[in-house]
Amino acid sequence: MGKLTGKVAIVTGGGGGIGGAVSRLFAAEGASVVVADLPAREPGTPSSAEKVVDEIRAAGGAAVASHEIIGEWASGEKLVRTAVDAFGRLDAIVTPAGNLAVSPLVEVTEEEWDSINKVHMKGHASVLQAAARQFIAQGEGGSIVTFSSRAAFFAPAPAYSSAKAGVLGLTSAAAIELAPHGINVNAIFPSAQTPLFPGDAQSRPVAGGTPFVADIDPAAIAPIVVFLTSEEGAGITGRWVYAAGNDIAFYDVPLVLSNRPTLLRGSERWTLDGLDEVIPSLLGLRTE
């Protein structure tokens, strides 16, 4: 008996990289999996999703492939329907599918901007909406794991960065809305070698206080995803989670003032002179 025995999951981008690793571990832990990814480029050849499905079935698991285009609004509902038609229900949705553009602000084109936001933002939103409706109809809760990136805060790639920041806003909003239904929603910040990010570990930036990690195997991300969708993770929601190699970190709850000295309450409304006196010292820009 695995941690996900009897559960049904959809994994977008499930044919490779992190999505492929998640699909395989889900199946190994007893889940039936809808592996969603792009169709094959060459006619008559198996797609990446079909290859993963074949692996899962050869190991005794249950899986079906889907080639819905992430970023089309109707794709979310079609994916959920595939899961329900094939396996009778839906319990978890995991959304690592994505694309990449790294043009700086002064060079990014409208086409790049729209493409990135279509896949990441609309792709997440359409799948989350359809999954949430199914979870609510079933009345038994459910799990959603979205995928963001440290690039939301630490990369000069405005299209990708803003889309990944938008995923965090969507995650937080969905967690609040769906909590009364017993549905948990969490976001992963992964660091792994994938088709989108093929560089070696030495080329990875250390950002936001995360230490260097030599292990960038995408399979290292899959266990935390399984945990968050298992019974043990049912009480965890609205959290942002960093995962890479042997490292797991739960970020502090966003926009919560936990460090009292950063809250300045004056005896009256702040003036420009008053702010000039206190802000530089607060931010370490003035030491005298």
Q: Which run of H or of E encompasses 279?
A: helix 272-282
Residue 107 per-residue DSSP state = T
d(CA 31, CA 19): 15
Question: Tokens 């998640």 label which residue?
Answer: 22
Please state whether 13 falls in left (phi above 0), alpha (psi between -120 and 50) or beta: left
Give the single-character DSSP code of 121: I
Q: Which helix (H) or strand (E) holds 124?
A: helix 123-138
Residues 4 and 233: beta-carbon distance below 8 Å = no
Cα(53)–Cα(65) distance, rounded to whole angstroms? 6
One DSSP character per residue, 196-263 reads S----GGGS---TTPPP-S---GGGTHHHHHHHHSGGGTT--S-EEEEETTEEEEPPPTT----GGG-
Which of 160, 189, 197, 242 is catalytic? The answer is: 160
Please say whether the beta carbons of 13 and 21 come within 8 A.
no
- The residues near 107 (Cβ < 8 Å, ≥ 6 apart) are none
Please confirm, yes or no, whether 160 is among the known catalytic residues: yes
Give yes or no for a contact between 20 and 52, defined as CB atoms under 8 angstroms apart.
yes
CA distance 183 to 171: 12
Catalytic annotation, residues = 160
